[in-house]
Amino acid sequence: MGTQYGFSIRRLIDISVLLTFCSLYLLVEPSCCHQSYDKTSCYSAAQLPGSNYLCNLQKSSCDTFVVYRVQKESQTLASIASLMSANLTDVCRLNNLTESDALLPGEEIIIPVACTCLERYSIAKLVYNYTSASEMLPDVACRVFEALVKAQVLMDENQDPAPGRNVQVNVPLRCACPDLPDVSARAGPKRYLVTYPVLLRDSLALIATKFNVTVQDIAEANGLGMDATIFGQTTLLIPANGLPAVDRGVREPSPSPVASTFPLDNIVKGPNSDARKHYALLGCGLLAAIVCICLSFFSFLLIRARYRNKLQSFEPLSDKAARLSNFSPNFITGMSELKHSLINFTPEEIREATKNFSEANVLGSSVFVGRTSRAKYAMQQVESDEAARHVVYILTRINHLNVVKLMGYCYEKPSYLVFEYVENGSLRDCLSNKKLAQQLTWTRRMQIAFDLAAGLHYLHYSTKPSYIHHNINSWFRLAKPVMKMDDKVQPNINQSRIVGRQGYLAPEYLTSGSASSKVDVYAFGVVLLELLSAEEAVSKGRFLKDSVRFLAEGSVQDTLNSSSDKLKEFIDPALEGEFTLGTAVCIALLAKCCVADDPQLRPNMNDILKTLSRAV
């Protein structure tokens, strides 16, 4: 057991060295003694400082509080105390209420919790019982507990148990214990840091008024500036000197009424007509200035667009996020949820388009090419109406250049999904045809690999919730997305059978049906090997992934010294003279890492995309 463990550690170190040699730079999470504010949405998969609060270096546990917001009229203090694993008497006393008091939706209740330190982070543990079979973990995190725990943190904690009544999940609520740096010298030592779920129209000033503290106190406790913007579905730490109390008379501001007249109409009119003329001239001048500024701005955009004839080079997501930091994360997420209009096909139209499902129209198992008066489509039969609706729900929330576009559906029996049709055939068709393979230069193959990685990266990191494909291959069948559970091996997620093509299926998926993002990484590695060699994933009973065992365990230089001749033999002869050996070694070693039997030893799509961005 010890030997196997030591071997795994050495493999991890080797992979780290490899990625360093291939110019893969990993982001290092900064350590800080202060707490931070995570402005990303509760549903976001991003793990940033503030997604969990750091432990206090001086004490590992404390009694503190969180704010729970009443969600429906039927809720009582007793049911809330039960949900939050709190003592009912303490809840009543803290909130100056009785057990029989009626609660209004949105009313804020102070809940006592025990905050403990676990692996650097402070959490308040409680257990939640599923009340509905349709309830998912992101709903529990972001709806039931209103972002007191992030969806990704909750999924990491519970490995996505199959939803159903009486299923229990562990809920690690965000909490924190105060230390000296979080204390304002003016107000004296703060005894508590209260975790508060932020509403959409909340502001630091409004929250400060609710808790009778200053904006500066809240800003210092969360590492924010005095004029910082905060977002809904996030949390703030509210410092409290003594037992916390919420002023329930403070309400969120109503939207400002829209003026029905031009602003100059609201100027008070005096008896002097010259003054009125002066105001009118001033207003016209301001209006003219605004019009000029707008015209100049749009002219600038038009000129810049004319000269933008090249794509921007790849840059890390963290850099882009920094530039977009003034946008609400919910704004960007909402853009991906805009649904384009889908065509509702009838069964007769499906049969007519596929010529009654003739063999000449077969693209693959249950997939046909269909021609209508509108266009040519790929039409896939799905198992059930429910499965079709599920895929429609997912793909109408996804909009990416490298993710196949859903064009329509047929919800009759049998059900069909209609996708855009790719004229050039599959990648496998091109690699198997020597004439077409010669047109696939090294540069084009690296671009194909990069585009595929970009599409998978989008599914894993940029959708809400995140998805995995788990059916990647060079024949490029259509997607069957499943909720992503980070980079850990996941239990079976409501699957009755293994889906995928032989040679692309990860060992853990074959043996137990466990699907995670690393299943996509494994299949991507096989496709990358196909791009290098033009060989099929399985040929004469031999798996392509076994063909790269000759690659040295260690650095790029080790492989160059010991395996360069074998690597040249492995690479497609059509690519001769189009690549440098050092680049080929990096790509081959990356592919080998992707097809490692142990999913923990495979890189994630973020690392893969960074590596390939330096090869295109």
CB hemisphere CA count around 388 (13 angstroms): 22
The H-or-E segment that residue 417 falls in is strand 415-420
Residue/partner pairs of 387-393 with CB below 8 Å, 24 or more apart? 387/415, 388/415, 388/416, 388/417, 391/417, 391/479, 391/480, 391/481, 392/342, 392/417
**β-bridge partners, 62:** 115
Q: Who contacts 300 (Cβ-Cβ below 8 Å, separation ≥6)?
A: none
Q: Where are the beta strands (DSSP E) in 213-366?
A: 235-240, 343-344, 362-364
Please, which residues bridge with residue 65 across strands? Answer: 112
SS3 3: helix
3-state secondary structure of 476: coil
Q: What share of the chain is helix, strand, coil (3-state, %, to 5)?
A: 40, 15, 45
Q: Which amino acid is at 383?
A: E
Going from the first residue of the chain to its last (616 residues), give the mean pLDDT of each consecutive group of 10, the final group possibly shorter: 48 54 38 66 68 74 92 84 93 92 90 88 88 75 90 80 69 85 47 90 90 91 85 90 85 45 35 49 65 63 51 39 42 44 87 91 82 87 75 64 74 84 74 82 88 83 73 61 38 41 84 84 93 88 86 67 83 87 88 91 88 78
Integer Cα distance of 453 and 436 in angstroms: 23
Domains of the chain, start order: 53-240 (no CATH), 337-420 (3.30.200.20), 427-487+500-613 (1.10.510.10)
What is the identity of the amino acid at 77?
Answer: L
Q: Which residues contact 292 (CB under 8 A, 6 or more apart)?
A: none
b/e per residue, 329-342, with b = 16+ CB within 10 A? bbebbeeeeeeeee
* Closest listed residue to residue 148, CA positions, set 211, 204, 80, 212: 80
Cα 474 to chain centroid distance, Å, stands at 25
Give the whole-angstrom CA distance, residue 408 versus residue 419: 7
The answer to whether 148 and 174 have CB atoms below 8 angstroms apart is: yes
Q: For residues 389 and 393, what is the distance between their CA atoms, to the nearest angstrom?
A: 6
Facing residues of 344 across strands?
A: 409
Give the rounded distance of the alpha carbon of 443 from its chain centre: 30
> Residue 173's CB: how many other CB atoms inside 10 A?
24
CA distance linking residue 70 with residue 49, whole number of Å: 28
Q: Which is it for strands 343-344 and 406-410: parallel, antiparallel or unpaired?
A: parallel
Neighbour count for residue 392 (Cβ, 10 Å): 19
Q: Is residue 39 left, alpha or beta, with left meaning phi > 0 and alpha meaning psi from -120 to 50?
A: alpha
Kindly list the distances between the CA atom of residue 331 and the CA atoms of 294, 317, 324, 336, in Å, as whole numbers in the listed order: 23, 17, 11, 9
What CA–CA distance (Å, rounded) separates 554 from 14?
5
Q: Which bin fits 461, alpha (ψ -120 to 50), beta or left (φ > 0)?
A: alpha
Q: Based on C-alpha coordinates, what's the Rg of the chain?
A: 29
337's CB contacts (< 8 A; 6+ apart) are: 397, 464
Note the pLDDT of residue 96: 92
How many angstroms separate the CA atoms of 526 and 538, rounded?
10
Give me 208's structure tokens.
């400060």
Could you tell me if 370 and 356 are in contact, meaning their C-beta atoms sit under 8 angstroms apart? Answer: no
Provide CB contacts within 8 A for 612, sequence distance 6+.
446, 449, 450, 453, 587, 590
The first and second tokens of residue 210, run together, are: 């609710």
**Distance of alpha carbon 78 from alpha carbon 98, whole angstroms:** 10
The pTM score is 0.44
**15 Cβ contact list (under 8 Å, min separation 6):** 593, 601, 603
The reported pLDDT for the residue numbered 38 is 85
For tokens 């500024």, the residue is 293
Dist CA 157 CA 139 (whole Å): 15
Neighbour-count burial of 441, counting CB atoms closer than 10 A to its CB (0-12 exposed, 13-18 middle, 19+ buried) = middle
Q: Pairing mode, if any, of strands 406-410 and 415-420?
A: antiparallel
